[in-house]
Amino acid sequence: MIAILKSGVTESQKNNLLNWLKAQGLDPHVSEGKYQTIIGLIGDTSKIDIDLLCGLEIIESVTRISEPFKYANRRFHPTDTVVEVGIGENKVKIGGGHFAVIAGPCSVESEEQIIAVAKAVKASGATLLRGGAFKPRTSPYDFQGLHGEGLDLLRLARKETGLPIVTEIMSAAHLEMFHDVDLIQVGARNMQNFELLKELGRLKTPILLKRGLANTLKELLMSAEYIMSEGNENVILCERGIRSYDQAYTRNVLDLAAVPMLKELSHLPIIVDPSHATGKSRLVRPMAMAATAAGCDGLIIEVHNDPVHALCDGAQSLTPELFDDVFKKIMSVRAILNEN
């Protein structure tokens, strides 16, 4: 349920209302817009007498929200959320017109590799560095990541370049190791690991939540809700392609309609991963441009200094030179969007 306040309502009138709502067992969530104050009501609203609420002098209107996602719902928070990642002068904003390009290898493999890639993508214009230290691999015999050492190498790359770091968590048991990670990624395979989502909801660190391999947009938003309802509202959604029938040529099917649809449904930033969506480096540029044109708030792109010898996802990884070209193309699409 949402209640819109009339303009000119005083702080004390608003606080009286909030206290009354809390006394009814509800959790009111206030969103102060430029022109409107909206109070989202979370909890069992069935006991609330809508006519009584509508009749209050300070209430403009009351509407029931049929969607099961509340905190993530744009109706609760009409303006775009801007998520801030990193600290100090290297802080990066994502959402609400702030566009970010996250780039780096699928997995951190060595100091030489991650530093070289970090420096190269930074020189091209990327504003965040990705790199997996814990890798969710289909086969237990494949490279699983460097774990703690991988996280340390990311920290080193951050120190060298200033780029905030983005890396995937696979288990709540690793939370302590992730204490200074700037943006914690929940991978597609863990999108519905609800216990992990709840733990991440108790942090303040921004969370990059990737859509599951076969999950609906509603399920993605419900997973965001798990994080947000625990108190962490710094969630960035990521479309990374879904399973469909044609796996002979593309790894997944990139659902670009998810971008404008999620923007309509939610205020959270949405980024696109053209690397995992296609599985082929030559498809990354067109899909990165298309995703940008579709209105996403950023991209996450795999870049490797030696893709042929990459320990993970070499076929979809761009060389730094190709990334430089792709970055320029993304910026040219952004420029066209900004002109219109």
Q: Which residues bind Mn ion (CB under 5 A)?
A: 106, 313
Q: How near is the Cβ of 244 to ligand PEP at its closest, in Å? A: 15
Using CB distances below 5 to 8 A depending on partner kind, what does residue 304 bind out of ligand PEP, Mn ion, none? none
Q: How near is the Cβ of 328 to ligand PEP at its closest, in Å? A: 23
DSSP 256: T
Q: How near is the Cβ of 322 to ligand PEP at its closest, in Å? A: 18
Q: Which of residues 241-300 bind ligand PEP (CB under 6 A)?
A: 273, 276
Q: Which sign does the torsion angle of CA 327, 328, 333, 337 carry?
A: positive
Using CB distances below 5 to 8 A depending on partner kind, what does residue 188 bind out of ligand PEP, Mn ion, none? ligand PEP
Q: CA-CA-CA-CA torsion for 279, 285, 286, 289, nearest 10 degrees?
A: 120
Q: Residue 188, interface with ligand PEP (CB under 6 A)?
A: yes
Which span sits near ligand PEP by CB under 6 A: 2-10, 140-148, 182-190, 214-222? 182-190
String marking each residue 121-150 x if it binds ligand PEP according to CB under 6 A = -----------x---x--------------
CA atoms within 13 A on the CB side of 206: 25
Kindly report the number of other CB atoms within 10 A of residue 329's CB atom: 14
Q: Which is nearer to Mn ion, 182 or 313 (CB)?
A: 313
**Contact of 31 with 233, CB cutoff 8 Å:** no
Q: Residue 106, interface with ligand PEP (CB under 6 A)?
A: yes
Q: Which is nearer to ligand PEP, 136 or 148 (CB)?
A: 136
d(CA 133, CA 146): 5
Q: Which is nearer to ligand PEP, 2 or 301 (CB)?
A: 301
d(CA 198, CA 220): 14
- Nearest Cα neighbor of 69 from 209, 268, 333, 296 is 268
d(CA 271, CA 282): 20
Q: Which residues bind ligand PEP (CB under 6 A)?
A: 106, 132, 136, 187-189, 210, 240, 273, 276
